[in-house]
C-alpha cells in the first residue's frame, strides 16, 4: 500500500523561513562581534608596541643630543641606525592598522568627487616636500560612489607610491584620470618613476612584498595591498602595468555616482 508523505503547509514554510532568518541574524551578529574584537586586538597591540618604540627613540635622541661629542663616527652611525629602525617599525605599525581598517571598516557609500580627493592627496604630498618639483595632473569630473574615507586612503597610497618611486627624477610626473564605462569608472594613476620588475608582478598587491629598496622609496610593503583591499570592497579590480618610456600605471575601477549632479564639489 502506497503511503504519501504529508506536504508541508504554509505554516511550516513560515516557521522554516523564520528559523533561517534567525540563524542568519545570529551569524551576522557573531561576525560583527568577531570583527570588533579583531579591531580592538589590533589597536591594543599597536599601542603596546608603540610605547617601547617611543622609549627607544627617546633614549637614542637624548644620547645623540647630550653625548654626541663623546661618540666617534661609528657610534653616531649606530645611533642613527637605531632611530631609523624605530621609524621603520612605527611605519609598519601604522600600515598594519590601516590595512586592518581597510578590511573591516563599515562601508558608508555616498557620491564622491574623486577628482577633488586626488587634488587634496596631491597637495598634501607637495606640502610635505616643498623642495621637490612636482606636477600632479588630475582629470576633472571623476565622480564615483563609495566610502569617502577609504577612497581618500586609496589615493594617498597610490599617489604616495608614485611620489616615492619617482625619487631621482628631475621632476615628479603623476597623472590621475579615468574613462566612464557604463555604471563604472575605469580609473588610473600614472607616473614616470622607477617602475617594477615584471618578473614579480603577481606579488605587487600582496602584503609585505617589497619590490623596491629603501633607497628607491620601498616601505613596509602594505601600500598596494591596502589599495587592493579598498578597490575590491567597492566591487572592483586593480592591476598594474609598466608604461612605455618608463614608469607605472595602476588601473582600477569604481562605481560611478548614480546622480552625479548631487556629488559635493
Q: What is the mean pLDDT of residues 182-209?
A: 84
C-beta of residue 185 within 8 angstroms of C-beta of residue 142: yes
| Per-residue confidence (pLDDT) for residue 189, from 0 to 100 | 96
46, 93 in Cβ contact below 8 A?
yes
Q: How far is CA 71 from the centre of its chain?
A: 41
The full set of domains in the chain, from first to last, is: 12-104 (1.10.287), 110-262 (3.30.565.10)
The closest alpha carbon to 210, from 259, 152, 165, belongs to 165
Residue entry with cell 511550516:
12
Q: State the pLDDT confidence band at 262, using cuts at 50, 70 and 90.
A: very low
- The enclosing H or E element of 129 equals none
What per-residue confidence (pLDDT) applies to 88? 79
User: Cell for 70?
Assistant: 663623546
Q: Confirm if 149 and 105 have CB atoms less than 8 A apart.
A: yes
Residue 241, pLDDT score: 92
Contact yes or no for 52/85 (Cβ under 8 A): no
pLDDT (0 to 100) of residue 100: 80
Mean pLDDT within 171-185? 93
Q: Average of pLDDT values for 130-154? A: 93
Q: How much of the chain exceeds pLDDT 90, in percent?
A: 35
pTM: 0.71
3-class DSSP state of 210: coil
Check residue 5 and give its pLDDT: 54
Res 209: pLDDT:
63
The larger pLDDT score, comparing residue 220 to residue 244, is at 244
Report which DSSP code applies to 214. Answer: G
* Segment among 64-68, 183-187, 240-244 with least mean pLDDT: 64-68
pLDDT at 137 over 70: yes
Residue 9 has pLDDT above 90, yes or no: no
Contacts of 165 (CB under 8 A, 6+ apart): 191, 193, 194, 195, 212, 216, 217, 248
Question: What's the angle, vertex CA 111, arms to CA 108 and CA 113, rounded to 5?
Answer: 120
Grid coordinates standing for 194? 622607477
Amino acid at each position: 500500500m502506497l503511503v504519501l508523505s504529508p506536504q508541508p503547509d504554509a505554516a511550516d514554510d513560515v516557521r522554516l523561513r523564520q528559523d533561517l532568518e534567525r540563524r542568519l541574524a545570529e551569524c551576522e551578529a557573531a561576525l560583527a562581534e568577531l570583527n570588533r574584537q579583531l579591531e580592538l586586538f589590533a589597536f591594543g597591540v599597536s599601542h603596546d608596541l608603540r610605547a617601547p618604540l617611543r622609549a627607544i627613540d627617546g633614549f637614542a635622541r637624548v644620547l645623540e643630543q647630550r653625548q654626541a661629542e663623546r661618540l666617534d663616527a661609528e657610534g653616531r652611525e649606530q645611533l642613527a641606525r637605531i632611530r631609523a629602525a624605530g621609524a621603520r617599525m612605527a611605519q609598519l605599525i601604522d600600515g598594519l592598522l590601516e590595512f586592518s581598517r581597510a578590511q573591516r571598516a563599515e562601508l558608508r557609500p555616498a557620491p564622491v568627487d574623486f577628482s577633488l580627493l586626488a587634488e587634496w592627496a596631491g597637495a598634501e604630498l607637495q606640502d610635505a616636500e616643498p623642495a621637490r618639483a612636482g606636477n600632479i595632473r588630475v582629470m576633472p569630473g571623476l565622480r564615483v560612489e563609495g566610502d569617502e574615507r577609504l577612497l581618500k586612503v586609496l589615493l594617498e597610497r597610490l599617489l604616495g607610491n608614485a611620489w616615492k618611486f619617482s625619487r631621482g627624477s628631475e621632476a615628479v610626473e603623476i597623472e590621475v584620470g579615468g574613462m566612464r564605462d557604463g555604471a563604472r569608472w575605469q580609473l588610473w594613476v600614472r607616473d614616470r618613476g622607477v617602475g617594477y620588475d615584471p618578473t614579480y608582478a603577481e606579488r605587487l598587491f600582496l602584503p609585505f612584498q617589497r619590490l623596491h629598496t629603501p633607497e628607491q622609496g620601498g616601505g613596509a610593503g602594505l601600500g598596494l595591498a591596502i589599495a587592493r583591499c579598498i578597490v575590491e570592497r567597492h566591487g572592483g579590480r586593480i592591476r598594474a602595468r609598466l608604461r612605455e618610456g618608463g614608469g607605472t600605471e595602476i588601473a582600477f575601477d569604481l562605481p560611478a555616482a548614480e546622480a552625479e549632479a548631487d556629488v559635493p564639489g
